[in-house]
Structure formats: C-alpha cells, structure tokens
A = this chain, B = another copy of it.
C-alpha cells in the first residue's frame, strides 16, 4: 500500500507542476533529486522568476529509517521504531501582490508497530483579502470535503484556523482553508477511503490555484502594494520559522534544508511597527485575518 501511495504522490507532483507551468506561461520547474541519510529521498521542484510565480516549490519525498531522538520527541514516541513517510508539499509566492500565496500538503506516515496515518491541507494567504475569492476558494474545498464526509469541511476548516495562526501577531496567516493530521484508519477499507480523500485534496489544488492566478494576475498594482506584499511575506516567514510544526519537524530531524525552506519568499521586509492607514485596503485585510469567519 505504501508504494501505491508514494507512486500516486509522484504522479500528483507531475500533474501539478504541469498545470502550474501552463498557467504561468513562462516559468519552468528545475528538479533536484536528493537522498535521505537513512533511506529514501526526494524530488524537489522549484520554479523561479516565472511570469506569475516569482518563486514556488512542489516537493515530493519518500523517506524511511529509524526514529531518531529528535523525531521521537516531536512525535511523543516512547520507543524507537522504523518509520516510512511520504508526501507532497507546495508553496507558491506570486510576483503580483494581487495574486495570493498558497500552500498545499498531503502526507502519509507509517510506523513499524503497524499504525499509519494521513495528513494534509490547503490554505490561502492573500496579500489583500478579496471576499469573492476567499468564498470561492473555501467553496472548492468544501465541495471536495463534502464528497467524502459531511463533517470534514467544518472540522478541517476549524483545524486550519487554529493551525495557521500567528500567536505573537494574533493574526491568522491568511484566510485559512483545511488542515488535518493523524487521521488513523481503523480498517483496510477505511484506509482506502482516507486515501481517496487525500487524493481528492491533492487534485483540488491545481484547478483552484490556477483559477486564482489567472483571475488576478493582470490586476494593476504599484509601489504601495509591493510594500504591503513585503510586510505580508514577512508574516509568512514569521509563521513558518517560529510556529509551523512541519518546518520545525523537518529542520530538527535533519530534513533537506533547501527543500524545507523553499516555502520562504524571494524577498520579505520588516518595518518597525508598521500600521496601515485606517480604512485602507491593507487595514481591511487585517480585519479579516481572524479565526472563525465562515467563508463557504
């Protein structure tokens, strides 16, 4: 089963890269193959200086080995065991501040004691929150979720609100999306169903994001919008480096640094105590970076 999942994730990576290149119209992914110290490895694909995408990564990995001490601490394990982990991770930083940043991840984890679980999610980080786009984005995720379980969307939407939150700013990273982890199947049938759901999440990414790319890429913007983009990208860096458990896990367990940190933007800025003008579009965006907004 794990080979089936890993093979599927590779195909998903291929399909997503192709869809993004087509939508971008100029950028091409460069590929780096790497090996993990204890077994397996990855296929990192990076697009830089595209027409719409300034920097983005679509990473596949499949690693195995013995749980290290760092890994055991991270996962609250009391005994050493063999593990197998595979997944696809995506972050896109667009050129235009009018096009949102996006993140997607699907992953599968298996331990030698027999337990296994799926995790994943998609979340959107617009530099400027546009109600119509946020609603449409959440509706796409809800449509996917509803085909698999009537409670998935509400459960995983809340989980995303809680996960993609920057405590020291009291802001969400963006307008959220869905997030789930440690989804352990109790039977083979349940495992197949969960895998089907994870596949559907992965396949929701490309049509959803390419729609938002193409819809917004031609909107005009100037210096003020580029400055604001630097501020929002700074917040993205703060979340990823200081709070994101996936990044922390990767950096502490000896993952490949350049593949993990492909999530960081090409350029980001920090002005001291930057406050947008009251009533400005920037200020309105801040008001919408809150948990609990029902977009769909």
Contacts and interface: CB of A to CB of B under 8 A. Distances in A.
A241 B235 CA distance: 11
A33 B266 CA distance: 34
Interface stretch (A61-69, A113-121, A125-133, A257-265): A257-265
A149 interface: no
A162 B264 CA distance: 25
A96 interface: no
Chain A interface helix/strand/loop/mixed: mixed
Contacts of A257: 168-169
Interface in A258-276: 258, 260-262, 264-273
Interface of A: 32, 46, 48, 55, 57, 167-169, 230, 234, 237-238, 241-242, 247-248, 251-252, 257-258, 260-262, 264-273
Given A48-B272, A264-B270, 16 more contacts: A46-B273, A55-B270, A57-B272, A167-B251, A167-B252, A168-B251, A168-B257, A169-B257, A230-B267, A237-B237, A238-B241, A241-B241, A241-B242, A242-B251, A261-B270, A267-B269
